[in-house]
Homo-oligomer: A and B are copies of this chain.
Amino acid sequence: MSITAPAGFRAAGVTAGLKASGNPDLALVVNDGPEHVAAGVFTTNRVVAAPVVWSRTVVGDGVVHAVVLNSGGANACTGPEGFADTHRTAEHVGAALGVSSGDVVVCSTGLIGERLDLPALLGGVDAAAAVLSADGGADAARAIMTTDTVAKEAQESRATADATTWTVGGMAKGAGMLAPGLATMLCVLTTDAVVDAGTADAALRAATGVTFDRVDSDGCMSTNDTVVLLASGASGSRVGLAELTEALTAVCGSLARQLVADAEGASHDIAVTVRGATTEDAAVAVARAVTRSNLFKAAVFGNDPNWGRVLSAVGTVPVDVAPFDADAVDVAINGVTVSRAGGVGEDRSLVDLAAAREVRVDVDLHAGRATATVWTNDLTHDYVHENSAYST
Protein backbone atom coordinates (compact mmCIF):
# COMPACT_ATOMS: atom_id res chain seq x y z
CA MET A 1 0.00 0.00 0.00
CA SER A 2 2.73 2.45 -0.83
CA ILE A 3 4.60 4.41 -3.46
CA THR A 4 7.54 2.06 -2.93
CA ALA A 5 5.47 -1.01 -3.75
CA PRO A 6 6.32 -0.80 -7.48
CA ALA A 7 9.87 -1.84 -8.31
CA GLY A 8 12.44 0.89 -8.92
CA PHE A 9 11.48 3.38 -6.23
CA ARG A 10 12.93 4.50 -2.94
CA ALA A 11 11.43 7.01 -0.53
CA ALA A 12 11.91 8.62 2.84
CA GLY A 13 10.02 10.86 5.24
CA VAL A 14 11.83 12.89 7.88
CA THR A 15 11.45 15.81 10.25
CA ALA A 16 13.13 18.86 8.79
CA GLY A 17 11.77 21.23 11.41
CA LEU A 18 9.33 23.18 9.23
CA LYS A 19 6.37 22.30 11.42
CA ALA A 20 6.11 23.71 14.92
CA SER A 21 4.69 20.36 16.02
CA GLY A 22 7.94 18.53 15.30
CA ASN A 23 6.07 16.03 13.15
CA PRO A 24 7.63 14.71 9.94
CA ASP A 25 7.46 17.38 7.26
CA LEU A 26 9.74 16.41 4.37
CA ALA A 27 9.37 13.54 1.93
CA LEU A 28 11.65 12.45 -0.87
CA VAL A 29 10.69 10.02 -3.64
CA VAL A 30 13.30 8.74 -6.09
CA ASN A 31 12.80 6.85 -9.31
CA ASP A 32 15.82 4.56 -9.77
CA GLY A 33 14.72 3.55 -13.24
CA PRO A 34 15.73 2.06 -15.55
CA GLU A 35 13.25 4.56 -17.07
CA HIS A 36 12.30 7.98 -15.70
CA VAL A 37 9.05 8.71 -17.45
CA ALA A 38 6.75 11.23 -15.77
CA ALA A 39 3.55 13.22 -16.13
CA GLY A 40 1.83 15.78 -13.94
CA VAL A 41 -1.41 17.68 -13.48
CA PHE A 42 -1.63 20.88 -11.49
CA THR A 43 -4.10 23.33 -10.01
CA THR A 44 -5.97 25.46 -12.53
CA ASN A 45 -5.83 28.41 -10.14
CA ARG A 46 -4.27 31.49 -11.74
CA VAL A 47 -2.61 32.24 -8.43
CA VAL A 48 -0.05 29.45 -8.25
CA ALA A 49 2.65 28.72 -5.74
CA ALA A 50 6.32 28.82 -6.71
CA PRO A 51 6.70 25.01 -6.61
CA VAL A 52 3.85 24.64 -9.13
CA VAL A 53 5.47 27.11 -11.52
CA TRP A 54 8.72 25.15 -11.20
CA SER A 55 7.25 21.66 -11.41
CA ARG A 56 5.03 22.34 -14.42
CA THR A 57 8.22 23.05 -16.33
CA VAL A 58 10.02 20.03 -14.89
CA VAL A 59 7.39 17.55 -16.01
CA GLY A 60 7.08 19.25 -19.40
CA ASP A 61 9.71 17.00 -21.00
CA GLY A 62 8.23 13.83 -19.49
CA VAL A 63 11.34 13.03 -17.46
CA VAL A 64 11.53 13.17 -13.65
CA HIS A 65 14.10 11.55 -11.36
CA ALA A 66 12.83 12.67 -7.96
CA VAL A 67 10.05 14.46 -6.10
CA VAL A 68 10.65 16.43 -2.94
CA LEU A 69 7.61 17.42 -0.90
CA ASN A 70 7.36 19.55 2.22
CA SER A 71 4.54 20.31 4.58
CA GLY A 72 4.81 23.24 6.99
CA GLY A 73 4.61 25.95 4.31
CA ALA A 74 3.01 26.37 0.86
CA ASN A 75 5.59 28.78 -0.58
CA ALA A 76 2.69 30.52 -2.31
CA CYS A 77 2.41 34.30 -2.81
CA THR A 78 6.04 34.62 -1.83
CA GLY A 79 7.26 36.46 -4.94
CA PRO A 80 10.58 35.96 -6.76
CA GLU A 81 12.27 35.04 -3.47
CA GLY A 82 9.86 32.15 -3.05
CA PHE A 83 10.63 30.90 -6.54
CA ALA A 84 14.35 31.11 -5.78
CA ASP A 85 13.72 28.98 -2.69
CA THR A 86 12.04 26.32 -4.82
CA HIS A 87 14.88 26.46 -7.34
CA ARG A 88 17.50 26.05 -4.59
CA THR A 89 15.56 23.13 -3.16
CA ALA A 90 15.58 21.36 -6.52
CA GLU A 91 19.28 22.05 -6.96
CA HIS A 92 20.01 20.69 -3.51
CA VAL A 93 18.04 17.52 -4.22
CA GLY A 94 19.76 17.16 -7.58
CA ALA A 95 23.19 17.46 -5.97
CA ALA A 96 22.33 15.00 -3.21
CA LEU A 97 21.09 12.41 -5.71
CA GLY A 98 23.43 13.14 -8.60
CA VAL A 99 20.65 14.12 -10.99
CA SER A 100 19.77 17.33 -12.80
CA SER A 101 17.71 19.87 -10.80
CA GLY A 102 15.59 20.14 -13.93
CA ASP A 103 14.42 16.58 -13.27
CA VAL A 104 13.31 17.27 -9.67
CA VAL A 105 9.66 18.04 -8.95
CA VAL A 106 9.03 20.22 -5.88
CA CYS A 107 5.75 20.24 -3.93
CA SER A 108 4.89 22.37 -0.91
CA THR A 109 1.85 22.59 1.34
CA GLY A 110 0.92 24.66 4.35
CA LEU A 111 0.23 28.35 4.97
CA ILE A 112 0.21 30.80 2.07
CA GLY A 113 2.28 33.97 2.16
CA GLU A 114 5.22 32.91 4.28
CA ARG A 115 8.76 32.10 3.20
CA LEU A 116 10.04 28.60 3.93
CA ASP A 117 12.83 28.03 6.43
CA LEU A 118 15.23 27.02 3.67
CA PRO A 119 18.20 25.93 5.83
CA ALA A 120 15.88 23.60 7.72
CA LEU A 121 14.35 22.32 4.49
CA LEU A 122 17.73 21.64 2.83
CA GLY A 123 18.94 19.90 5.97
CA GLY A 124 15.85 17.75 5.74
CA VAL A 125 16.67 16.89 2.13
CA ASP A 126 20.10 15.64 3.25
CA ALA A 127 18.55 13.64 6.08
CA ALA A 128 15.97 12.11 3.73
CA ALA A 129 18.53 11.29 1.07
CA ALA A 130 20.53 9.42 3.70
CA VAL A 131 17.66 7.14 4.63
CA LEU A 132 16.04 6.53 1.24
CA SER A 133 14.72 3.02 1.19
CA ALA A 134 12.67 0.67 -0.90
CA ASP A 135 10.19 0.44 1.94
CA GLY A 136 10.16 4.14 2.81
CA GLY A 137 6.79 4.85 1.20
CA ALA A 138 4.81 4.91 4.42
CA ASP A 139 7.25 7.36 6.00
CA ALA A 140 6.92 9.64 2.98
CA ALA A 141 3.13 9.50 3.17
CA ARG A 142 3.22 10.55 6.81
CA ALA A 143 5.59 13.45 6.17
CA ILE A 144 3.26 15.23 3.74
CA MET A 145 0.28 15.39 6.13
CA THR A 146 -1.00 18.80 7.23
CA THR A 147 -4.48 18.77 8.73
CA ASP A 148 -4.86 15.16 7.61
CA THR A 149 -5.54 12.83 10.52
CA VAL A 150 -4.34 9.73 8.67
CA ALA A 151 -1.86 9.08 5.88
CA LYS A 152 -3.43 8.15 2.53
CA GLU A 153 -1.93 5.34 0.47
CA ALA A 154 -3.19 3.00 -2.23
CA GLN A 155 -1.86 0.30 -4.47
CA GLU A 156 -3.04 -1.85 -7.35
CA SER A 157 -1.25 -4.69 -9.14
CA ARG A 158 -2.15 -6.11 -12.54
CA ALA A 159 -0.94 -9.14 -14.48
CA THR A 160 -0.10 -8.82 -18.13
CA ALA A 161 -0.81 -11.44 -20.79
CA ASP A 162 2.65 -12.98 -20.32
CA ALA A 163 2.00 -13.34 -16.58
CA THR A 164 4.40 -10.63 -15.45
CA THR A 165 2.89 -8.20 -13.00
CA TRP A 166 3.09 -4.46 -12.71
CA THR A 167 1.99 -2.21 -9.90
CA VAL A 168 0.75 1.31 -9.31
CA GLY A 169 1.32 2.87 -5.88
CA GLY A 170 0.12 6.21 -4.60
CA MET A 171 0.15 8.57 -1.68
CA ALA A 172 -1.83 11.74 -1.18
CA LYS A 173 -2.40 14.45 1.37
CA GLY A 174 -5.06 17.06 1.75
CA ALA A 175 -8.48 17.30 3.15
CA GLY A 176 -9.66 18.22 -0.28
CA MET A 177 -9.20 17.88 -3.98
CA LEU A 178 -7.28 18.71 -7.07
CA ALA A 179 -9.40 21.27 -8.80
CA PRO A 180 -10.95 22.76 -6.90
CA GLY A 181 -9.07 22.04 -3.70
CA LEU A 182 -9.87 22.57 -0.05
CA ALA A 183 -6.51 22.38 1.49
CA THR A 184 -3.76 21.69 -0.99
CA MET A 185 -3.91 18.26 -2.51
CA LEU A 186 -0.57 16.64 -3.26
CA CYS A 187 -0.33 13.19 -4.78
CA VAL A 188 2.57 11.10 -5.97
CA LEU A 189 1.85 8.04 -8.08
CA THR A 190 4.48 5.46 -8.97
CA THR A 191 4.47 2.55 -11.34
CA ASP A 192 6.95 -0.01 -12.54
CA ALA A 193 5.14 -0.39 -15.84
CA VAL A 194 6.93 0.39 -19.06
CA VAL A 195 5.11 3.35 -20.59
CA ASP A 196 5.99 6.30 -22.79
CA ALA A 197 5.49 9.87 -21.62
CA GLY A 198 2.51 10.49 -23.88
CA THR A 199 0.69 7.47 -22.52
CA ALA A 200 1.55 8.45 -18.95
CA ASP A 201 0.18 11.94 -19.50
CA ALA A 202 -3.02 10.79 -21.17
CA ALA A 203 -3.69 8.11 -18.57
CA LEU A 204 -3.02 10.49 -15.68
CA ARG A 205 -5.40 13.12 -17.07
CA ALA A 206 -8.09 10.54 -17.67
CA ALA A 207 -7.71 9.06 -14.19
CA THR A 208 -7.62 12.35 -12.28
CA GLY A 209 -10.51 13.71 -14.35
CA VAL A 210 -12.91 11.15 -12.94
CA THR A 211 -11.46 10.89 -9.41
CA PHE A 212 -9.72 13.88 -7.81
CA ASP A 213 -11.55 16.29 -10.11
CA ARG A 214 -14.84 14.93 -8.80
CA VAL A 215 -14.09 15.47 -5.16
CA ASP A 216 -15.28 18.89 -4.07
CA SER A 217 -15.13 19.14 -0.34
CA ASP A 218 -15.71 22.88 0.01
CA GLY A 219 -15.48 24.42 -3.45
CA CYS A 220 -12.17 26.11 -2.71
CA MET A 221 -9.25 25.64 -5.09
CA SER A 222 -5.71 25.58 -3.79
CA THR A 223 -2.69 27.35 -5.24
CA ASN A 224 -0.51 24.26 -4.88
CA ASP A 225 -2.45 21.17 -6.03
CA THR A 226 -0.15 18.72 -7.78
CA VAL A 227 -0.46 15.13 -8.94
CA VAL A 228 2.70 13.61 -10.38
CA LEU A 229 3.16 10.16 -11.89
CA LEU A 230 6.58 8.48 -12.08
CA ALA A 231 7.16 5.34 -14.17
CA SER A 232 10.32 3.31 -13.65
CA GLY A 233 9.79 0.55 -16.19
CA ALA A 234 11.39 -1.81 -13.66
CA SER A 235 8.74 -4.51 -14.03
CA GLY A 236 9.50 -4.93 -17.68
CA SER A 237 5.76 -5.03 -18.38
CA ARG A 238 4.80 -2.79 -21.27
CA VAL A 239 1.37 -1.36 -20.62
CA GLY A 240 -1.07 0.37 -22.92
CA LEU A 241 -3.18 3.45 -22.34
CA ALA A 242 -6.36 1.62 -21.39
CA GLU A 243 -4.66 -0.65 -18.87
CA LEU A 244 -2.67 2.16 -17.29
CA THR A 245 -5.73 4.38 -17.12
CA GLU A 246 -7.72 1.64 -15.42
CA ALA A 247 -5.11 1.00 -12.73
CA LEU A 248 -4.39 4.69 -12.14
CA THR A 249 -8.11 5.34 -11.86
CA ALA A 250 -8.41 2.62 -9.23
CA VAL A 251 -5.54 4.06 -7.18
CA CYS A 252 -6.66 7.67 -7.60
CA GLY A 253 -10.23 6.68 -6.78
CA SER A 254 -9.12 5.05 -3.56
CA LEU A 255 -7.02 8.07 -2.60
CA ALA A 256 -9.83 10.48 -3.48
CA ARG A 257 -12.25 8.60 -1.27
CA GLN A 258 -9.68 8.63 1.54
CA LEU A 259 -9.43 12.40 1.17
CA VAL A 260 -13.20 12.78 1.47
CA ALA A 261 -13.27 10.45 4.44
CA ASP A 262 -10.70 12.61 6.23
CA ALA A 263 -11.99 16.04 5.17
CA GLU A 264 -11.59 18.76 7.75
CA GLY A 265 -14.29 18.57 10.35
CA ALA A 266 -16.69 16.54 8.21
CA SER A 267 -19.18 14.09 9.71
CA HIS A 268 -20.67 12.81 6.43
CA ASP A 269 -19.29 11.87 3.03
CA ILE A 270 -21.84 12.70 0.34
CA ALA A 271 -21.90 11.07 -3.11
CA VAL A 272 -24.01 13.15 -5.48
CA THR A 273 -24.82 11.13 -8.58
CA VAL A 274 -26.61 12.77 -11.49
CA ARG A 275 -28.27 10.49 -14.03
CA GLY A 276 -30.27 11.19 -17.14
CA ALA A 277 -28.10 14.11 -18.25
CA THR A 278 -27.56 14.98 -21.89
CA THR A 279 -23.77 14.80 -21.48
CA GLU A 280 -21.27 13.79 -18.82
CA ASP A 281 -20.21 17.44 -18.50
CA ALA A 282 -23.83 18.40 -17.82
CA ALA A 283 -24.08 15.69 -15.18
CA VAL A 284 -20.90 16.94 -13.52
CA ALA A 285 -22.13 20.53 -13.57
CA VAL A 286 -25.41 19.62 -11.87
CA ALA A 287 -23.69 17.38 -9.33
CA ARG A 288 -21.16 20.09 -8.56
CA ALA A 289 -23.93 22.65 -7.98
CA VAL A 290 -25.36 20.36 -5.31
CA THR A 291 -21.97 19.69 -3.72
CA ARG A 292 -21.42 23.45 -3.43
CA SER A 293 -24.67 24.23 -1.65
CA ASN A 294 -23.78 25.28 1.87
CA LEU A 295 -27.46 25.05 2.77
CA PHE A 296 -27.74 21.44 1.67
CA LYS A 297 -24.43 20.50 3.27
CA ALA A 298 -25.45 22.07 6.57
CA ALA A 299 -28.74 20.16 6.38
CA VAL A 300 -26.85 16.88 5.97
CA PHE A 301 -24.79 17.75 9.03
CA GLY A 302 -28.12 18.03 10.86
CA ASN A 303 -29.20 14.64 9.42
CA ASP A 304 -31.98 16.49 7.59
CA PRO A 305 -32.84 15.00 4.14
CA ASN A 306 -33.70 18.45 2.82
CA TRP A 307 -34.43 17.67 -0.84
CA GLY A 308 -35.71 21.19 -1.47
CA ARG A 309 -32.16 22.39 -1.06
CA VAL A 310 -30.99 19.77 -3.57
CA LEU A 311 -33.57 20.89 -6.13
CA SER A 312 -32.88 24.58 -5.59
CA ALA A 313 -29.17 23.90 -6.19
CA VAL A 314 -29.95 21.85 -9.31
CA GLY A 315 -31.98 24.78 -10.60
CA THR A 316 -29.03 27.16 -10.51
CA VAL A 317 -27.28 25.41 -13.41
CA PRO A 318 -27.77 27.41 -16.62
CA VAL A 319 -29.85 25.72 -19.29
CA ASP A 320 -27.07 25.92 -21.88
CA VAL A 321 -24.81 23.99 -19.50
CA ALA A 322 -27.34 21.29 -18.65
CA PRO A 323 -30.61 21.11 -20.57
CA PHE A 324 -33.40 19.50 -18.54
CA ASP A 325 -36.98 20.15 -17.50
CA ALA A 326 -37.06 21.23 -13.86
CA ASP A 327 -40.51 19.69 -13.51
CA ALA A 328 -39.19 16.25 -14.46
CA VAL A 329 -36.37 15.94 -11.92
CA ASP A 330 -36.38 13.15 -9.32
CA VAL A 331 -34.26 13.26 -6.15
CA ALA A 332 -33.47 10.23 -4.01
CA ILE A 333 -31.57 10.35 -0.74
CA ASN A 334 -30.14 7.05 0.47
CA GLY A 335 -32.42 5.27 -1.97
CA VAL A 336 -35.65 6.98 -0.91
CA THR A 337 -37.16 9.02 -3.77
CA VAL A 338 -38.08 12.01 -1.63
CA SER A 339 -38.90 14.19 -4.64
CA ARG A 340 -40.57 13.00 -7.83
CA ALA A 341 -41.10 15.14 -10.94
CA GLY A 342 -40.02 18.27 -9.09
CA GLY A 343 -42.58 17.77 -6.34
CA VAL A 344 -43.07 15.81 -3.18
CA GLY A 345 -42.22 12.12 -3.38
CA GLU A 346 -41.83 9.43 -0.74
CA ASP A 347 -41.95 10.31 2.95
CA ARG A 348 -38.69 12.00 3.90
CA SER A 349 -38.85 10.49 7.35
CA LEU A 350 -37.91 7.18 5.69
CA VAL A 351 -34.40 8.58 5.21
CA ASP A 352 -32.08 7.98 8.13
CA LEU A 353 -28.95 10.08 7.70
CA ALA A 354 -27.74 9.45 11.21
CA ALA A 355 -27.17 5.77 10.55
CA ALA A 356 -23.98 6.08 8.50
CA ARG A 357 -21.25 8.47 7.50
CA GLU A 358 -21.95 7.93 3.80
CA VAL A 359 -24.89 9.70 2.18
CA ARG A 360 -26.08 8.99 -1.36
CA VAL A 361 -27.94 11.67 -3.29
CA ASP A 362 -29.28 10.56 -6.67
CA VAL A 363 -30.66 13.14 -9.06
CA ASP A 364 -32.34 11.95 -12.24
CA LEU A 365 -32.75 14.73 -14.80
CA HIS A 366 -34.67 12.54 -17.28
CA ALA A 367 -33.03 14.39 -20.15
CA GLY A 368 -30.50 11.91 -21.51
CA ARG A 369 -28.27 8.97 -20.64
CA ALA A 370 -25.12 10.49 -19.15
CA THR A 371 -24.13 10.01 -15.52
CA ALA A 372 -21.50 11.40 -13.14
CA THR A 373 -20.76 11.33 -9.42
CA VAL A 374 -19.15 14.12 -7.41
CA TRP A 375 -18.14 13.59 -3.79
CA THR A 376 -18.34 16.18 -1.07
CA ASN A 377 -18.71 16.50 2.69
CA ASP A 378 -21.23 18.04 5.01
CA LEU A 379 -20.74 21.53 6.42
CA THR A 380 -20.13 21.20 10.12
CA HIS A 381 -19.26 23.15 13.24
CA ASP A 382 -15.85 21.51 13.12
CA TYR A 383 -15.22 22.65 9.54
CA VAL A 384 -15.86 26.22 10.61
CA HIS A 385 -13.74 25.79 13.70
CA GLU A 386 -10.76 24.23 11.96
CA ASN A 387 -10.76 26.78 9.18
CA SER A 388 -11.22 29.77 11.41
CA ALA A 389 -8.38 28.67 13.69
CA TYR A 390 -6.07 27.20 11.06
CA SER A 391 -3.40 29.89 11.01
CA THR A 392 -3.59 31.03 14.60
**Chain A residues engaging chain B, CB cutoff 8 angstroms:** 44-48, 74, 76-79, 82, 111-114, 180, 182, 218-223, 292-295, 298-299, 301-302, 304, 306-309, 311-317, 319, 326, 329, 339, 341-344, 379-381, 383-385, 387-392
Q: Which residues of B contact A343 (CB under 8 A)?
A: 77-79, 82, 113
> A317 with B220: in contact, given A390-B299, A391-B304 (CB under 8 Å)?
no
Identical chains bound together, number: 2
Which residue of chain B is the closest to A221 with respect to CB atoms?
B316
- In Å, the complex CA distance between A34 and B244 comes to 76
Q: B388 touching A304 by the CB < 8 A rule?
A: yes
Q: A301 touching B77 by the CB < 8 A rule?
A: no
Q: In whole Å, how far is A212's beta carbon from the nearest beta carbon of chain B?
A: 16
Q: Which residues of B contact A293 (CB under 8 A)?
A: 219-220
Identify A77's interface contact among B45, B339, B380, CB under 8 A.
B339
The dominant DSSP class at the A interface is loop
Q: Which residues of B contact A220 (CB under 8 A)?
A: 293-295, 309, 312-313
Given contacts A298-B387, A299-B391, A302-B392, 5 further A-B contacts (CB under 8 A): A182-B295, A218-B294, A219-B294, A379-B387, A379-B388
Q: A294 touching B387 by the CB < 8 A rule?
A: yes
A sample of 27 inter-chain contacts (CB < 8 A) reads: A45-B315, A45-B316, A46-B319, A46-B326, A47-B312, A74-B308, A77-B342, A79-B344, A111-B308, A112-B306, A113-B307, A113-B308, A180-B316, A182-B295, A218-B295, A219-B292, A220-B294, A221-B316, A222-B312, A223-B308, A298-B384, A299-B387, A302-B387, A304-B390, A304-B391, A380-B384, A383-B384
> A78 with B111: in contact, given A46-B315, A46-B319, A312-B220 (CB under 8 Å)?
no
